[in-house]
Amino acid sequence: MTWKRITDTETVVGMLPAWFGRRMVGLRGSFGLLLTTGDVLRLTSIAAVHQSSDGIILLDILLDHAGVPDGVDLAWRSKHFIGSPVQGASVATVNLAHIVAAVEFTVAEMAINPGDSSVLFNDEIEADNDAEPTEAVSQSSE
């Protein structure tokens, strides 16, 4: 089995479910991935995707701190919130097949400096804060 590491933001976003990719790739926030075990893996961003020749997809993520997020609904409080195991250990890889749902705990912010003209932004990030939000639609030829 061979693996391909993909870091191009647009390609990674295209490989993930719509909201999941648009909100977590190239942005920083406070997110949770509900795993098949019932645990919630806390993360701040998705950095890259690894795709195997067999179609397995692994996500390189930046971990958030462990514990129940501030203000989380009572129904979620009984979950086990997994985060960084020790201070400074913030990188992990998770199998996409083990993710049941993705949730957002706080509003995401740009993970990069908006003043950096060498960085290209995704279509859904608007330069004009007064502009109406638009959503890019892509079609698959499957």
Q: Please check whether residue 117 lies inside any domain of the structure.
A: no
Helix, strand or coil, per DSSP, at residue 12: helix
pTM beyond 0.75: the answer is: no
SS3 64: coil
- Give backbone dihedrals phi and psi of 11, rounded to 5 degrees, phi first: -65, -45
CA atoms within 13 A on the CB side of 83: 18
71 located within any domain: yes
Domain encompassing residue 24: 3-110
Number of domains in the chain: 1
pLDDT digit string (tens) for the chain, length 142 residues: 899 999 888 898 888 887 777 888 878 889 999 999 999 999 999 999 999 999 999 999 999 999 999 888 888 899 999 999 998 889 999 999 999 999 988 765 555 555 544 434 344 334 434 434 433 333 333 3
Residue 126 forms part of a structural domain: no
| Token pair for 38 | 């019932």
Residue 33 lies in a domain: yes
Q: How far, in Å, CA of 65 to CA of 5, rounded?
A: 26
CATH number for the domain harbouring residue 40: 2.30.30
